[in-house]
Structure 1
Amino acid sequence: MQRIRAAVDGRFAGVDGEDVTSSMWNVRFDPWNPDFVAHPYDVYAELRATAPVSFFEPTGQWLIARHADVNALLRDRRLGRSYLHLGTHEDFGRQPEPEFQEPFWRVIRAGMLDVEPPVHTRLRRLVSKAFTPRMVESLRPKIREIATELAEGLVERGGGDLIAEVAEPLPVIVIAEMLGIPEADRHLLRPWSADICGMYELNPTLEAQHAAVRAATEFAAYLRDLAATRRNAPGDDLISALAQVVDEGDRLTEDELIGTCVLLLNAGHEASVNATGNGWWALFRNPGELERLRADHSLLPTAVEELLRWDTPLQMFERWVLEDITVGGVRIPRGVEVALLFGSANRDEEVFSEPDRLDVGRTDNPHITFGAGIHYCLGAPLARIELVESFGALLRAAPRMEPAETPRWKPNYVIRGLSALHVTV
């Protein structure tokens, strides 16, 4: 059990400078504990009630538990995904990243997720010209075809691992089709994505860090070759579109194109896989709601939103404090990191009626699974289409699908999902 407190040493103070170093809570927030990872929601409720803004010593982060605070901080320009547009690591009292990580961050910071305006504004504008709502919606028939084929294959085999046989292949195939990655190379994408996302876990092991660097380097080199080919001979794919997009004479650099493609794979793939697995496991544990959905497939859009709320695949989103702020009466200084607890915010009783109850027909559902503000997920429309079509295909092909055993959760907390979900049909 880890100990959380609302302040640490005299630097942190509450309202009107009140010293809060003596205020401590024995809250069971332990993101490396398998029991906590499997069910963090009781701990979240305790945090919201007793320590909504609290300092977590093992990672040096401030945990933010309530929906109103999380939502506000996502939109607050006094915070950012990075501080490097304002100063060096040393300027913000941080240690420089190890030299061996440089290839990883060179790739990641060429995309839009880990940069701030004006670079973020420019990248999002350019990418949005190619990754348009019309283009995404045009993919729906193909996504339905792929989802149906995967679901029927699961049925033909008499069941199996829903994660490995449906949840994982669908977004890989969709993203590969979008980017124009040849079918013979698509087996490379899932390992690259998993290894790269390992860097975003809390205090990743040295092994995980090296794996992330290696995967980013390999994926970037692959995309560099593919992008060069598409610049000379454009096809009907997103890499070609990104390579050709021009706005008032501005265009993506090669590094920015590669960083964007890496982001699309990681954000789109990992979230969709875990949302599918978490969602089906949620339905199996709430058989009344599963029967309701089986009887009325028109509930699929609201059901997907509710499953994203009830057991969100991204439990935590981190942002740096760029100037002193006050949250919930607690002052948080420049140069530290806040950990926005999406999973807690999505169960906040101040916002959601009966938040611990799964309701596939819930219409008043302001969940923040896709974030908010300038970093709101660009791929949210695509994720929604994939999930609606995937759940719909399985409901049609396997209307009596049931779990074959109780699944185990992967050890990861930040990007949280099942290691497998074996089902019978």
Structure 2
Amino acid sequence: MTTRFDPRSAEFIAHPYDVYAELRADAPVVFHEATGQWLVSRHADVSALLRDRRLGRTYTHRFGHEEFGQSPPDPAHEPFHTLNGNGLLDLEGPDHTRIRRLVAKAFTPRMVEALRPTVARLADELVTGLLEEGGGDLISAVAEPLPVAVIAEMLGVPAADRHLLRPWSAAITGMFELNPSAGTAERAVRASVEFSDYLRALIGERRAAPGEDLLSALIAAQEDGDALSEQELVSTCVLLLNAGHEATVNTTGNGWWALLRNPAQLALLRSDVDAHLPTAIEELMRFDTPLQMFERWVLEDIEVAGVRIPRGSELALLFGSANRDEARFAAPDRLDVTRAENPHISFGAGIHYCLGAPLARLELIESFGALLRRAPDLTLLREPVWQPGYVIRGLTELQVTT
């Protein structure tokens, strides 16, 4: 079957939801020749597959590259693959279980909750700056700096070095797009080396003089004599920045764009911020999902919605489509900030459910809350343009006046 799914098209990236609806209705599981992936678009299927242990974020824990029918990665990209391959996102089996257990000992709900005053202060300072300027780009003024400042504060990165983090994150996450270019790969490799070297030096300082920060806690985390290796520490810190940062930034930008083009919902939210903000945050993550696609390798032959998919295939789980599935959500194309039942999958599911979800929700609550309370006249200056990336989907800017 031919499909209008085209992740390289600016028109599709700007509005993929009509195409998703066609896929759910006519071809909920279909092979897409251009990307070499099986597209899975229905909520029930995506949700189940995220929990299915016959799939994996990687296959190398069970198969060699040739055995699995895949080409080995370019040796020139080794620094990126070493960094990415030792983080929770791409690990499977006992390695994933072990590292997640150790990280959870340091990155606790209590630690996240203790950050609330800091996050609230940082959000308020950023909103103050936007108000003093009379407006500007909400993404560069508020959305981007907040999660970087929070994770830097958590890890104990000195204030003078924090400007390095965002460019490194942007370069590394470029590799998560479909078929990244040679230039994208070069930038990701360079950033992987620079970020890793920086963190190794910081780890050395914390080993010598532990502090109250998360990095010190990760170094100290032990279970039955086991601890994170230096590479695992580096990869964990990078993942905390990259995963948390990209999701929070794009939920903020996409979310405010959704609210500004749905003025009745924005007015309802402003009418009682305390009552409606928790459900609004969940709805904004559902309505314009920041991570549109999450990939899985098929480790054993499986059948999905009556379609047989052989081992060695790659699935493209379409989060953006699953979150608009009419079989799971009432009036899914309508923004509803009071939506009570909202089983969106924006944070994933199963063993790879986002470890940083509580922190992301905290940052979103504080940043949206500060803007809603302190900028009641926030107005869109001009319609925004979407970035060219599809997998991590967000706006280039969101120009507003206050």
TM range (shorter): over 0.9
Aligned to 2:293: 316
Match for 1:351 among 328, 333, 336?
328
RMSD across aligned positions (CA): 0.6
Per the alignment, residue 394 of structure 2 pairs with 417
Q: Structure 1: which amino acid aligns with 2:259?
A: L
1:390 aligned to 2:367?
Answer: yes
Q: 1:373: which partner in 2?
A: 350
Whole-Å separation in 2 of the counterparts to 1:280 and 1:399: 13
Q: Aligned ranges for residues 12-161 of structure 1 at < 5 Å?
A: 24-25=1-2, 27-161=3-137
Question: Aligned pair 1:218/2:194, yes or no?
Answer: yes
Quote the residue 1:13 is aligned against.
none
Q: Distance in 1 between matches of 2:377 and 2:209?
A: 48
- Partners of 1:109 and 1:137 lie apart in 2 by 29
Structure 1 stretches (4+) deviating beyond 4 angstroms?
Answer: none
Partner letter of residue 48 of structure 2?
A
Alignment match, 2:214: 238
Deviations 1:117-165 (A, max 9, x none): 1000000000000000110011111101110111111011100000000
Does the residue aligned with 2:93 lie in a helix, a strand or coil? coil
Q: How far is the alpha carbon of 1:336 from its aligned partner?
A: 1.2
Distance 2:189 2:42 in 1: 34
2:385 is matched with 408
SS of 1:118's equivalent in the other structure is helix
Q: Residues 15-74 of structure 1: CA distance to partner in whole angstroms, max 9, x if unpaired?
A: xxxxxxxxx23x211101001000000000000000100111111110000000000000
Inter-partner Cα distance in structure 2 for 1:145 and 1:317? 33
Q: Superposed, which structure 2 residues align to 1:304-343 within 5 Å?
A: 304-343=281-320
| 1:90-109 Cα deviation digits (max 9, x unpaired) | 11000010111111110111
Q: The residue matched to 1:44 in structure 2 has which SS?
A: helix
**Structure 2 unmatched runs, 5+:** none
Matches of 2:182 and 2:194, distance apart in 1: 18
Unaligned runs of 5+ in 1: 1-23
- Normalised TM-score (structure 2): 0.99
For 1:363 and 1:217, how far apart are their aligned partners in 2? 45
Give the counterpart letter for 1:251 in structure 2: A
AA at the equivalent of 1:132: T
Aligned residues: 401
3-state secondary structure, aligned to 1:338: strand
User: Match of 2:223, SS?
Assistant: coil
Structure 1 equivalent of residue 253 of structure 2: 277
What is the DSSP-based 3-state SS (H/G/I as helix, E as strand, rest coil) of the residue aligned with 1:217? helix
Aligned residues with identical type, % of pairs: 68
Report what 1:301 is aligned to: 278
Instruction: State how far apart, in whole Å, the 2-side matches of 1:73 and 1:131 are.
Output: 27
Residue 204 (1) aligns with residue 180 (2): yes
